[in-house]
Structure formats: C-alpha cells, structure tokens
Amino acid sequence: MLSIGELSRKTGVKVPTIRYYEQTGLLAAPERSGGNQRRYSTAELERLAFIKHARDLGLSIGDIRELLDLSAHPDRPCTDANRIAANHLATIRDKIARLQQLEAELDRIANGCHGERIENCYVIESLSNHALCKTPH
Amino acid sequence: MLSIGELSRKTGVKVPTIRYYEQTGLLAAPERSGGNQRRYSTAELERLAFIKHARDLGLSIGDIRELLDLSAHPDRPCTDANRIAANHLATIRDKIARLQQLEAELDRIANGCHGERIENCYVIESLSNHALCKTPH
DNA sequence: CCCTTTGTCTATAGTCCCTATAGGTATTGC
DNA sequence: GCAATACCTATAGGGACTATAGACAAAGGG
C-alpha cells in the first residue's frame, strides 16, 4: 500500500490534486491507515496514471470521467472512446490553427517596431488600430 | 455618449465583461446617466478596443495593464512594449510546439484503434500504458 | 401619458482545474 | 525518545470571466 506522497511521486500528480480528484469523485475514497492516512493499492495507482496520461494529452476531466466509465465495461463497443479521442484531436488541431494565426500577426507586430519611444511604437499602434492587422483573429 | 450595450456591440466585449474590467480597474468608472447607468466616451471606446484586440491576440490582463500604462507615456522608450510582445510571441510558439506533439500522439492513438470493443480498444490501452507512446508529452 | 419591451443596475455564486494556506496529527529514521 | 517529515481537514484564492436573481431605467408605440 502506498501513502499519498508515494502515489504522488510515482504518478507525478501533486498531493493536493489527488485529494481534489477524490473530492470530486474521479478517484474513490481509498483505505485509511490506523492514523487516518490514505493508503492506495496498485489498482488505484493505475487509475491515477491513466488520468494523468489523459490530462497530459489535454483531455478534460469530463472526458476522462467518461473514458474511465467506459473502461469499466470491456464488452461495450469502443465507438464512444474513439469519438472522444477524435473530438479532442480536432479541438487540438483547431487550437493550433488559431495559435498559428496569432503567431503570424504577433510576429509581424513584435518585429515591426523600429521606433524608439512609445509615441511611435508599432506594438502600441497595432493594438490601438485593428486595421493595421494583416490576418484575421 | 454610449450606453454599456452600445459599447459592447461596438467592441465585441460582452456587457458583464465590461463591468468586470471596471471592477478590476482595467477600465475607469465612467460617467453615469441621471438614472445611474454607465455612459462611455470615445476615449473609453478606444481603450476597450485596445484591450479587446490584445485579448484576442492572447495577451494576459497583466500584460495589457502594463501596455496601457506605457501608452499613457508617449515619451518613454518602447523597449518594454517590445519585450512584452516578444515574450508573448515566444509563449505562443511554445504552446504551438507542445500542441503539435500532442497532436501527433493523439492522431496515432485516435486512428490506431481497429478494435470493436473496449476490451481491445487502442484508445483505452494507450491511456493505460504510457509505454505505448511514441512521442514525449 | 401609459404600457410593454428591452436594457441596465447591484450583488453574489459558479465555472474549470487546480494551488496555497493554516493549524493540527502521524509516521519515520536516527 | 525526539526531531523531521509527511499527512490530515477546511477554507480561500486565482485567472478571466459567465450566469443568475430581483429591481430600476429608457425607448417606442398607441
């Protein structure tokens, strides 16, 4: 059995975050030691590792909850799991596309300033006047 | 003079957000009508448009506060404004890079499932077992 | 002038996903 | 046996809003 600190070290999830997951029902309340401290089994370690991995991939807690529920039913079709993954992939691609637009515009703005003083600073000017922008955002 | 709703329509910033900005000191408290409603001048419209543009470009409220302070001092050097823009550009590039890593991994995961049931679903398997991953994240 | 609709007011709570703090108790290692 | 470390609960904070409730104001038509 692992203490919460050991579980934290093994998974890379911070101690308060583990307690927070328990509080919100993402993790079940674990066994307790004589002195009322949490004690975790290997199954719980695996569940948390799953959560951490999914969080690292950017999945929302809601999605993760759904995936965990699914994984408890090995005989169900895996269309839902695939849908969640595909949706998230689409979200990420969308985010990348939007960030790339921002990148282009910001590059132009950040490298377009050859002024010396705020008076004629292209950064300030560009923010003041949207019409100076070359790309949509 | 504009009402808060007109200001909202002209800038694309939602009414509660405008009130929130006022509350946090990003916008000064405007004049009031006889019936205690907010009335905005053109200067205030421009300030909010600046904020909106900067927010759309992903700048934090803190950065925007700094930029607004700077723009009130036309005679100062614009090194700080350039620094803020360059830092933000770097942050965005970093975000893009990390999202692209996630994209690669998620693409692999989301399109790697040829199972029918959760039992042998590659999505679930991949999340359970980090060792299956090909790229870091 | 009245009525209705739409807009605005304040104050407060909720969102997401944690993170930090305070004040106290357990466990561990020497 | 004791100090250092880890753990406990409960609560508040953070960033940037968003939503809600209950009440007052403004604008347009008859």
Mapping DSSP onto H, E and C, the string for chain B reads CECHHHHHHHHCCCHHHHHHHHHCCCCCCCEECCCCCEEECHHHHHHHHHHHHHHHCCCCHHHHHHHHHHHCCCCCECHHHHHHHHHHHHHHHHHHHHHHHHHHHHHHHHCCCCCCEHHHCHHHHHHHCHHHCCCCC
What number is the average pLDDT over the span B127-132? 92
Q: How many other C-beta atoms lie within 10 A of the C-beta of residue B3?
A: 14
Give the model's pLDDT for residue A53.
95
Residues (14-33, chain A) with CB within 7 Å of strand D atoms: 15-16, 19
CB contact set of B83 (below 8 Å; sequence gap of 6+): none
Task: Please classify residue B76 by burial: count the beta carbons closer than 10 Å to its beta carbon, then call 0-12 exposed, 13-18 middle and 19+ buried.
Answer: middle
Is residue B94 very low, low, confident or very high in pLDDT (cuts 50, 70, 90)?
A: very high
Say if residues B122 and B115 touch (Cβ distance below 8 Å): yes
Say if residues A76 and A70 touch (Cβ distance below 8 Å): yes
Å: A42 CA to C25 C1': 26
CB < 8 Å to B88, chain A: 106, 110
Interface test with B, best of A45, A106, A129, A133 (most B CBs within 10 A): A106
Give the model's pLDDT for residue B136.
84
Give the closest residue to D18 (Cα–C1′).
Answer: B16
Give the model's pLDDT for residue A137.
81
Nearest to A46 among B95, B99, B128 (CB): B128
B100 CB closer than 7 A to any strand D atom: no
Å: A61 CA to C16 C1': 9
Is residue A96 very low, low, confident or very high in pLDDT (cuts 50, 70, 90)?
A: very high
pLDDT at position A136 over 90: no
Nucleotide lying nearest to A55, CA to C1' measure = C17
CB < 8 Å to A109, chain B: 57, 85
Nucleotide lying nearest to A59, CA to C1' measure = C17
Beta bridge partners of B40: B2
Give the model's pLDDT for residue A135.
84
- Read off the tokens for B5: 């709703």
